[in-house]
Amino acid sequence: MTTSSLVLHLEGGDDDPFKLCQRTFGPGHGMEFLNMYLPDGTRLTKALARRLPSNQRLIYRGSRAPSREVLLEGRARLTWYESYPTSTKEAEDFNAKEHIGEFAYLPDQQFPEARVREMRIAAFFIHPNLNAGTADQFAGKRIVLTRADGGTIGTAFIYDTASDEDCKNNEVSTNAARTGYLVDLERYTAEAFFGDDWETDCAGYVKFQIIN
């Protein structure tokens, strides 16, 4: 039997550990939450999960390996945006003022800034002239980002999309022109992944895998 650390993500109202385990271990394995514990040894229950904060660390004391079906992988241009704009440029040029705390794949919800800070949010874009498919296919999926040398950057959720309609000079498709893919991290996610130098380091090209 193996023991591994997992992170429970409650974004978008997903506070049901049964669904979490189905997503983590695959269909038919929802009851694996009975093998999940808080760091203090408390066994996870559905009632307890509803009271946990975002990104609660859990200890999995079962033997099942997490599901890792790769839906799409490749190289993408990495950029960042702010859902709570701190500059006129972000508010006006990138249309952030129209979507404060809102994300395309979490409809009819507006998240307070404190909540956005806890979430791990990525917008994804597929250049229609270079690659097949649309970002809508991957709404809500995990996206794992790594550096060119294989170093881990982090895992986020595709809760948003990027569009030329929300910026000037077709910047989204221009940024995606080389590889056909763009990953646009929400500012607080970029800060969590890159630390104090996030504005500089959240740039260039990264490898990505979108996981079912």
Q: Which residues of the chain have pLDDT under 70?
A: 1-15, 23, 27, 54-55, 66-67, 87-98
Q: Report the pLDDT value the prediction gives residue 96, as an integer from 0 to 100.
A: 53
The residue among 41, 19, 37 whose CA lies nearest residue 29 is 19
Q: Cβ(33)–Cβ(20) under 8 Å? A: yes
How many CB atoms are closer than 10 A to CB 93?
15
Q: Report the pLDDT value the prediction gives residue 165, as an integer from 0 to 100.
A: 82
Terminal-residue alpha carbon distance, the chain: 24
pTM of the model: 0.69
Q: Where in the chain are the domains?
A: 4-60, 70-211
What span, in angstroms and rounded, lies between the C-alpha atoms of 175 and 181? 8
Q: Strand 4-8's sheet: what is its strand order?
A: 4-8, 56-60, 36-37
pLDDT digits (tens, 9 = 90+) for 2-48: 555 566 554 434 457 777 777 677 767 778 878 888 888 888 888 88
Selecting from 3.90.1150.10, 3.40.1670.10, 3.40.605.10, 2.40.40.10, what CATH number does the domain 70-211 have?
2.40.40.10
The residue among 147, 155, 158 whose CA lies nearest residue 202 is 147
Q: Report the pLDDT value the prediction gives residue 11, as an integer from 0 to 100.
A: 43
